[in-house]
Amino acid sequence: MNAVEQAKSLEFASKIAAVVNLFQAEFPDARVDLKPWSNDPDTRQFIDPDSIDLGFHFPGWSRKLQSRSILVQIRLHCDGMETAQRIIGVEAEGFDHRGQAWRLSTIGNWQFVGEAEPAAEVCDKLKHFCREVHGSFLRSFASMPDSMAPLFSDQLTEPTSMALLAQIQWQPILTTLSTAAPPITIATTYVHTLANPHHPPLLLLHGFDSSVLEFRRLFPLLACEQETWALDLLGFGFTERPPSLSFNPEAIKAHLYGFWQALIQRPMTLVGASMGGAAAIDFALSYPQAVAKLVLIDSAGFTPGPVLGKFLVPPLGYLATEFLRHPRVRQGISASAYHDPSLASQDAQHCSALHLGQPGWRQALISFTQSGGYPSLQPRLPQLQTPTLILWGQSDRILGTAVAQSFQGAIAGSQLVWIPDCGHLPHLEKPQFTAEQILAFGR
């Protein structure tokens, strides 16, 4: 059925937008058609009421694509026992002036059939697109807890931003916050791509008041080479914020361990940026069996307090969080985090603010700040036995540069790599170089 006719709810509209974003991230020159079927006898026979059908048209016939238009059909099924439809497969068909040239179906053996076949690189892109569509539909927005909001934005413009937003999944994670209390389940948002299972998986942890979208440029560079995860830490991003919880470093660590136990279950390379670096150090010290290697990107944790915590002194409460929510304030902070302030684009601003609409954002931020955030981990750093790589922007104006050498001096055997012409966010400002360093170190 035409996608435009299936967009009867926020859930389906969000999913259709995600599919469009995923396809255009792979093929930026494609123009979407949400109504590929005409209502006439010749085409009515092909309409499946349990599918979402989209057409993508290109400027002309392409030798690599072996087509000028691609029809994408997402097959859904509801067996009557379920409250929502589930995905059973994705089919893509390439068309030229003669008709169908090739077909790919994930319901069968994921092989291309037809008179022609796209170039190998296009085949890989189409299969990757199909995998991401499967992942996007695995968790229905309709089944999200009331304490989470659907993830959708029509304001993102960068292909990597649109693609990563579309890849976000959620999973209920059983979390033990105290030995004196029963475990609780927390709906947790993350991104995952399985590439090379022979190397330790990578897990990326974002910074203060941020989300997995912080890794929109780094994630795809890592994910095409190695199994990669990115997680929204407890109290941040799009992960559920139960109103009864206290949000502090210990709770973040307990939730992170629950996530690792549930989904990863083997030693990993833990990558932490800014406050995520402090969370990574704290986790590696407490659970060394879970961390094979550690990567710190302009990391907090050498001195006490959350990054930017001066904006959230506890007595300010509501007013402080409203101040931090203000677009001009966020834009100013973003610009100061880059060596090149022009990178603080409108797309970057939307990425950094999208999670502000999640229920409990203000209360969780106040709770975390009132806890004192991460204390100085300096006294514990000599206990860290995990091989550690320190990546640091030479123009970091948020934390400065002296702390990088302090980390290197305190962590035995650690490597320090300076990144020229780069501020506090190497994963956004120099993603290619950052990915190369992480991949070389993590293998």
Output the average pLDDT for the chain: 86
Give residue 258's pLDDT band: very low, low, confident or very high (50, 70, 90): very high
Whole-prediction pTM value?
A: 0.69
Q: Which of 38, 79, 34 is nearest to 53 (CA)?
A: 34
Does residue 424 carry a catalytic annotation?
yes
Q: Which of 310, 314, 300 is nearest to 376 (CA)?
A: 300
From CA 380, how far away is CA 280, in angstroms rounded? 13
Give the active site residue among 255, 355, 424, 427.
424
Task: Retrieve residue 253's tokens.
Answer: 């660590």
Which has more confidence, 18 or 281? Answer: 281
Contact 26, 129 (CB under 8 A): yes
Nearest 5°: the CA angle 8, 14, 17 is 105
Average pLDDT over residues 311-322: 58
Q: Which of 188, 372, 380, 389 is nearest to 282 (CA)?
A: 380
pLDDT at 236 over 60: yes
Taking residue 244's Cβ as centre, other Cβ atoms within 10 Å add up to 5
From CA 164, how far away is CA 166, in angstroms rounded? 5
Length of the chain: 443
**Percentage, residues of the chain above pLDDT 90:** 50
From CA 5, how far away is CA 410, in angstroms rounded? 60
Res 39: pLDDT: 60
Does residue 282 carry a catalytic annotation?
no
The structural domains of the chain, ordered by start, are 3-138 (no CATH), 144-442 (3.40.50.1820)
Which has more confidence, 387 or 326? Answer: 387
Task: Note the pLDDT tens digit of each residue in 165-190.
Answer: 878 888 889 999 988 888 899 999 99
Residue 319: CA count within 13 A, CB half-sphere: 4
pLDDT at 56 over 80: yes
pLDDT at 151 over 80: no
Contact 128, 223 (CB under 8 A): no
Residue type, 372: G
Nearest 5°: the CA angle 413, 414, 420 is 145
DSSP string, 218-229: THHHHHTTS-EE
Task: Note the pLDDT tens digit of each residue in 63-118.
Answer: 999 999 999 999 886 544 444 566 778 899 999 988 999 999 887 667 899 989 99
From CA 282, how far away is CA 288, in angstroms rounded? 10
Taking residue 394's Cβ as centre, other Cβ atoms within 10 Å add up to 14
Calculate Rg over the CA atoms of the chain. 23
Give the active site residue among 53, 339, 396, 427.
396
Helix ranges (H only) for 200-244 are 219-223
Give the active site residue among 105, 211, 274, 334.
274
Residue 122: CA count within 13 A, CB half-sphere: 20
Res 67: pLDDT: 94
Q: Give me the residue label for tokens 């290697």.
A: 293
From CA 134, how far away is CA 379, in angstroms rounded? 46
Does residue 255 carry a catalytic annotation?
no
